[in-house]
Amino acid sequence: WAVFQGAEPHTGLYATHVNPDGSFAPGFGAAAMRLARDSSQVNSLSAASDGTGGAVITWFGANPKDPASTAIALRFIHVTYYGIIAMRDTGIVVSTIATAASCAGDGGGGAYVVWEELKSTSNPDIVAQHYDVNGLATWVPSGSPTGRNVCAVAGIQRLRAMHSDGTEGAYVVWADSRTPSTTPLYAMHL
């Protein structure tokens, strides 16, 4: 899988899928598939295998034709082996108060999305949500408008890494300054 930002006006988000022999996967070709149309901004891409031949992708972007996109929002989309599944081409809005994000496939076609959520101007927390193969959130939000708190203690938490565990879960690693003058790494298994 390759996911990238286009350079034309109203930058779009594109993907292509190449087989091990160099041929394109069914539904893909020399011209990459446009995932997010008419985006005014695309940045901070994160993409991972969904475990079934597809890909899960997060990015920060705005869409002038999307009424939910009054500000740069964290978005999520799932692309199957053959192409996009049935969801909005602008991606699902995950959070409008996120500042950094990553995603990992759950091994069964769904995904974990984790992000830094600004609860105040200087205290981001680590928050996550799980999405099923159809892009529907499976966790009831707790401590966040759209996700569940992974870490919400005093101090600054900064997302560092996220990776699938290969058995439908994922590990999240972050830097945490809850103790003054130290910033150790913490981990959580989802």
Q: One-letter amino acid identity for 70?
A: T
Distance CA 109, CA 170 (A): 14
Q: What is the pLDDT of residues 140-190, one digit of tens each?
A: 999 899 999 998 888 788 888 898 988 889 999 988 887 777 788 889 999
> 170 forms bridges with which residues in the sheet?
164
pLDDT, average across residues 80-86: 74
pLDDT of residue 2: 87
Q: What is the pLDDT of residues 97-123, one digit of tens each?
A: 888 899 999 998 899 999 988 876 667
Residue 28 has pLDDT above 70, yes or no: yes
Residue 13 has pLDDT above 90, yes or no: no
Residue 91 token pair: 């991606």
**What are the C-alpha distances in Å from 146 to residues 14, 74, 90, 154?**
26, 11, 18, 20
Burial class, 140, CB count within 10 angstroms (exposed 0-12 / middle 13-18 / buried 19+): exposed
